[in-house]
Every structure is written in C-alpha cells, then in structure tokens.
C-alpha cells in the first residue's frame, strides 16, 4: 500500500475550500409511477478532495452525477435544489441556471465526467488522437495544431498511455488502456472537479488499482477534486477522504471515510459494511492510502508503478 511519503502539494492556494455544493437537490423521472431518484441530497466537495459515493444499484448515484453536470434528459427532471460551482477565481456559478452556450464552455473545462461504461464509449472508427483533439478544438478553437497534438500526448503520458500509440483506434487498446484514454480526456482541460462513475468496475483488480493510483497521484499534482462512484465499498474506504452512502435516492451517511468505517451511523451502512468479508475482520486494522482533506495531516498516497 502506501510507501510514498512525499509532502502533499495540495490543490493550490484554496485547497480544502468548497469547489462544488449540492443543496437539497431533488431529481425525478417523470414516468408512471414517478421515480424520485434523488431526494434532498446535500453534499459539499472540497478542493482536492476524493468524495466516495456508494450505495446499491438503482439508489440514484448516476442520476445525481448527471444532474450535477446538467446531462440529465427527460424523463429526468430537477425539481428543486441548487448546484453551485465555486470557481478558482472566487466566482460562484449556479449550474442549474447556465444556458446551453455557458454549459458547453463549462463542461470538460471546469468539471468533467468519466461515464459508467466509458471505455466502450469511444468512437471505434476515429483515432484516439482525433477524439482527444476534438475536445480541445471545441474549447480552445484558437489553439494551434501542433500545440493540440502536444497537449494530447502530454495528457496521455500522464495517465500512463504511450503517446506513440495515439494515432491508433480504440479497438487496438485493452479495456484498461481505453479507460485511461477516457480519463485523459476528462483531464485534458485541467478541470477542478472530475465525476467518475464506476471508472474501473469492468477491469480486473490489478488494472483497476493501477488506474486509481494514477488518479490519486494526479490529484496531488493537479489539485482537482473527485466524486468517485463505485459499488466497491472497501475500495472507497481506502481511497476517499469522505464518503456519502445513498439509499433510495437519499444520502443516509456522510462522513470522513474512517468515521464511516469505525462508527457507521446508519443501519444500512452497517449492513453494507457487513456484506464485504474483507471489512468484517479487525476494525482496528483500518489503513488508508488516500490522503485526507487536510493536507497538513498525513503523508501522500503512493505505490502506483503498476501500469495497466
Ligand atoms: N430513464 C429512466 N426512466 C425511469 N427511471 C429511471 C431512468 N433511469 C434511471 N431510473 C431509475 O432511477 C433510479 C436511480 O437510477 P441510477 O441509474 O441513478 O442508479 P445508480 O445508483 O447509478 O445504479 P447503478 O449502481 O446500477 O449504476 C432507479 O430506480 C432507476 O430505475
Ligand atoms: Mg449508475
């Protein structure tokens, strides 16, 4: 696990301050009968923080992530609540009020998302480079060709993909490599928040580990905050600073990862913890490699030299 003891640079001058606030958000699917998929959810994501979002299938994790990024489509509808992005320069952005053009400029640049099943979302007939460059062209139309290419190579290298392969097509990459490409795409414009919906679920444990360690290492370098969604509670406990557990659309538990592990407040969380044999042993043996929200409190995460 953690062997690296470098001091953590943190997420810039405002590390630890809120970057995204979700306030009493309600999302429904207007179907018969109506589904209240997200109920009164309030969460605060801090700069540089890893917020783990757990809960059984159908509890509303993806719906929440989509609504936060304004990607929800009918029959989904945000009925009440607020989502505020606290930009690096001090401006507060009311995400639910952005018009199409403002949203287009906001997404990927300030907040990006790695979608559930994303590694299958790359277009099979377009080269990896062209798909990455497309994001750059949309957001930075004045960027010169050579600079675009260089940025794509740079970000691929960051996530552990050999840039020499960028003219290849998605089917020439393994699942792990395709997922790394998707993460590269999410990091291309150096967003302040990355939503990751089951980013590694389809991959084997070793590949998954390598990718998530990379995400953590880059978090230390780039200072982005992550909302990490997965069913894998042991993994979340280890990687997250704080954890929110959802049940039927509601956040029923929201606390520091260690707190959730040692003193789960909600019966559902206790059941969830109990369903992972690896967690039911000695509770004193809790070890995390993820760094806490307070950058001064603990050494950095590390041990990330295995590449998928
Ligand atoms: N298009 C839709 N129309 C109606 N109901 C939907 C639709 N999409 C999702 N739902 C319902 O909304 C609820 C939340 O679904 P969501 O996909 O957000 O859950 P999830 O926590 O991401 O699940 P998983 O872990 O399986 O990905 C579920 O009850 C689901 O059946
Ligand atoms: Mg989902």
- For residues 181 and 173, the answer to whether their CB atoms sit within 8 Å is yes
182 and 87 fall within a common domain: no
Ligand 1 proximal residues by C-beta, below 6 Å = 29, 31, 35, 37, 55, 57-63, 75, 116
Alpha carbon distance 222, 194 (integer Å): 11
Q: Is residue 145 part of a domain?
A: yes
pTM of the model: 0.86
Domain end residue (candidates: 190, 216, 239): 190
What is the predicted pLDDT for the residue at 120? 78
184 and 199 fall within a common domain: no
173 and 127 fall within a common domain: yes
Q: How many domains does the chain have?
A: 2
- Please state whether beta strands 225-229 and 50-54 pair in parallel, antiparallel, or not at all (unpaired): parallel
101 and 231 fall within a common domain: yes
User: Is it the case that residue 149 has pLDDT exceeding 80?
Assistant: yes
Domain CATH for 88: 3.40.50.300
41 and 130 fall within a common domain: no
Write the pLDDT tens digit of every residue in 193-204: 999 999 888 788
Q: Which atom of ligand 1 is nearest to the CA of 66?
A: 18
Full residue range of the structural domain in which residue 153 is found: 118-190
Q: Which atom of ligand 1 is nearest to the CA of 249?
A: 14
What is the predicted pLDDT for the residue at 83? 98
Tell me, in angstroms, the distance from the centre of ligand 2 to residue 116's CA: 6
Q: How confident is the model at residue 14 (pLDDT cuts 50, 70, 90)?
A: low
Q: Which atom of ligand 1 is nearest to the CA of 55?
A: 21
159 and 257 fall within a common domain: no
Residue 196 region, left (φ>0) first, then alpha (ψ -120 to 50), else beta?
Answer: beta
User: Is it the case that residue 58 has pLDDT exceeding 80?
Assistant: yes
Which residue from 62, 196, 245 has its CB within 8 A of the most atoms of ligand 1, so it is best to mutate?
62
């Amino acid at each position: 696990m953690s062997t690296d003891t470098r001091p953590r640079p943190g997420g810039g001058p405002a590390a630890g301050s809120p970057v995204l606030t979700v306030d009493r958000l309600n999302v429904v699917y207007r179907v018969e009968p109506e589904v209240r998929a997200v109920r009164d959810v309030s969460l605060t994501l801090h700069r540089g923080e890893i917020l783990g979002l757990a809960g059984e299938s159908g509890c509303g994790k993806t719906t929440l992530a989509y609504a936060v990024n304004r990607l929800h489509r009918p029959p989904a509808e945000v009925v009440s609540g607020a989502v505020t992005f606290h930009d690096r320069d001090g401006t507060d952005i009311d995400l639910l009020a952005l018009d199409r053009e403002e949203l287009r400029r906001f997404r990927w640049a300030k907040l990006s998302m790695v979608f559930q099943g994303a590694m299958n979302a790359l277009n099979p007939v377009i080269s990896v480079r062209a798909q990455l460059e497309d994001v750059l062209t949309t957001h930075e139309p004045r960027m010169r060709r050579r600079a675009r290419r260089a940025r794509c190579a740079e970000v691929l290298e960051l996530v552990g993909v050999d840039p020499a392969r960028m003219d290849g097509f998605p089917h020439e990459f393994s699942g792990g490599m395709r997922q790394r490409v998707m993460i590269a795409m999410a990091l291309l414009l150096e967003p302040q928040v990355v939503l990751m919906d089951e980013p590694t679920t389809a991959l084997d444990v070793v590949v998954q580990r390598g990718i998530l360690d990379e995400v953590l290492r880059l978090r230390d370098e780039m200072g982005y905050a992550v909302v990490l969604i997965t069913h894998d509670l042991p993994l979340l406990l280890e990687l997250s600073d704080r954890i929110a557990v959802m049940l039927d659309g509601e956040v029923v538990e929201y606390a520091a990862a260690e707190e959730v592990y040692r003193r789960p407040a909600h019966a559902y969380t206790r059941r969830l913890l109990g369903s992972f044999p690896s967690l039911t042993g000695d509770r004193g043996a809790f070890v995390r490699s993820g760094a806490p929200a307070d950058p001064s409190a603990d050494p950095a995460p590390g041990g990330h030299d295995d590449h998928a």
